[in-house]
Amino acid sequence: MSDQLEFAAVAGPGVFELGGRTFVVSPLTPADFTAVHAEFRRQCLAEAKDPLTLANERISAAEKAGTPFSPTVVNAMVTAAMSAAARKEGKSEPSDGEVAARLHTLDGCRAMVWLRLLKADPSVTREFVSKAIPDEQAKAAVLIRLAELDGLAKIDPKKVTASG
């Protein structure tokens, strides 16, 4: 078994304390990952700018910097922005990297923790989680503890590679 996947085989339910309460949390399942991804995507779309405004800002910034885009590039940017604006959400689809990066935001961490704790105790509310994770310092501590519970702290980073 590869080093990258060993944590999945050894991680099991673990005790997690938050806001003066104790929970027994389980590792994320594929369905959980889908729910977390959907929430992070929603957050990205909520914060995304209107595509036409964004394209206009980029074109203007390039002109102000003295390096204007060619007419071909401007046309491509406006066409892509118009296409994105025509979508149901009226915004560009966030990239996988943007969605994954949400975990490292305060709201993203809170959402992921809420989804995990909800499985352990259906009475857990988003408000409880937000109060229990009030700032970046608390967020960091929570993410470290969850990584330990999931077995990620046991992975030797020198052995993990992009190719597996």
For 101-127, what is the mean pLDDT?
Answer: 93
pTM as predicted? 0.66
> Is residue 35's pLDDT more than 80?
yes
Q: Where are the alpha helices (DSSP H) in the chain?
A: 3-10, 30-47, 51-64, 71-85, 96-101, 106-120, 126-132, 136-149
For 58-73, what is the mean pLDDT?
Answer: 93
> Is residue 123's pLDDT more than 80?
yes
